[in-house]
Amino acid sequence: MTRSITGDDLVDIARGAAILGTGGGGDPHIGRLLASAALREHGPVRLTPLAELPDDAQVLTVAMVGAPTVMVEKLPSIEQVGLSVATLAEYRGRPVTHIACAEAGGVNSLIPVVAAAQLGLPLVDADGMGRAFPEIQMVLPTLYDIRATPMSVADEKGNRLVVDAVDNHWAERLVRTATVEMGCSTMTSAFAMTGAQARQALVPDTLSLCAELGRLVGQARERHQDPVAAAVARLGGRRLFTGKVVDVLRRTSKGFARGEATLEGLGGDSGARLLIRFQNEHLVAERVAGDGERAEVLASVPDLICTLDSESGEAVTTESLRFGHRVTVIAAPADPRWHSAGGLALAGPRYFGYDIDPVRCPAPEVSA
């Protein structure tokens, strides 16, 4: 089913994408404002289902790279999006036929909407992860030997560069250092691939899922039902912990927002604590019992760990976690390819420095 994204869809998409963003992927409010301005100016964006992409389509992903802590102060501009896509298209000397999302997230699901609107191109209903991850090589296309580069990077001052790296890990290193020098947030275009490659490597239906997830959470709230339960049910996930943020340790370092948040349990979790460690996105959630001695990892990458406002069900991003915030932490299963050996090498807990096996999202709650 081919459909379009109009201004009316943006609230739901932004809300759902921020949940899949697992704390990262950028502030959904900023993403919505940018996409809304682009759609007002250029009209609706056609959405192409992944399965309908022609073999010879020329697909590019468009995404913000950097620390979300910086992005809330240094807002991306619509011009930057166009500059990034044009720079890469010119370097490759080939026209682009479709825009795709590199990841799901409040900004990074909506920047591609901006790009597609500006360029009058269709957007693929898919993304490269089915969630958000902090580093460039952490997309399923890497598992299919699709190169991130040539990759364009544009800042808000008009500086731009094209990186052509020997592999996707080098792409991450070179784009990250350029991004830090450019002020810690940049607009990028990358992962040029054919339609045939995209059909194999991307996660299908992500934008539809974002829209549906956002709508379900919103409807539950309107109907005075539990919006968190609605999200858990749609994602086939599980509620991990409900509590109040009592401590946030956050630093912007080497181009990322890194740190950890501590939650004090409420209700059934009273007396326990939950520690969430993050690098742009949530990586590990560890429950510590009341006596402070028994610690248990409840979930870890590559599965999704999402912090939702306990009342509204809105995603709380790592850069906006603050003392006193009442949040419910949920886990949801990642695309199964993330649990392959190659997927875990790219984005499993050990890659991030945690010497544990991945703790997979437990079976869904019966009540959900």
162 belongs to the binding site for its own copies (CB under 8 A): yes
Mode of pairing for the β-strands spanning 256-265 and 3-5: unpaired
166 belongs to the binding site for its own copies (CB under 8 A): yes
Least gap, CB of 90 to its own copies (angstroms) = 8
Binding mask 23-42 for its own copies (x = CB under 8 A): --------------------
User: What are the Cα distances from residue 31, in Å, to 14, 105, 113?
Assistant: 7, 9, 9
157 belongs to the binding site for its own copies (CB under 8 A): yes
Interface pick for its own copies out of 30, 57, 110, 180 (rule CB under 8 A): 180
Residue 112 tokens read as: 């591609």
3-class secondary structure, 34: helix
Element holding 78 (H helix, E strand): helix 78-92
Instruction: Report yes or no: 362 and 305 within 8 Å, Cβ to Cβ.
Output: no
Least gap, CB of 68 to its own copies (angstroms) = 21
Distance CA 227, CA 219 (A): 8
Least gap, CB of 11 to its own copies (angstroms) = 36
Least gap, CB of 318 to its own copies (angstroms) = 25
Element holding 115 (H helix, E strand): helix 111-119
Element holding 50 (H helix, E strand): none
87 belongs to the binding site for its own copies (CB under 8 A): yes
Mode of pairing for the β-strands spanning 58-66 and 98-101: parallel
Interface pick for its own copies out of 41, 164, 311, 357 (rule CB under 8 A): 164
Least gap, CB of 84 to its own copies (angstroms) = 12
158 belongs to the binding site for its own copies (CB under 8 A): yes
181 belongs to the binding site for its own copies (CB under 8 A): yes
The count of residues interacting with its own copies (CB under 8 A) is: 20
Instruction: Report yes or no: 107 and 28 within 8 Å, Cβ to Cβ.
Output: yes
Segment lying near its own copies (by CB under 8 A), choices 126-134, 159-167, 257-265, 321-329: 159-167
Least gap, CB of 153 to its own copies (angstroms) = 9
Instruction: Report yes or no: 122 and 116 within 8 Å, Cβ to Cβ.
Output: yes
177 belongs to the binding site for its own copies (CB under 8 A): yes
CA 86 to chain centre: 23
Residue numbers at the binding site for its own copies (CB under 8 A): 87, 91, 157-166, 170, 173-174, 177-178, 180-182
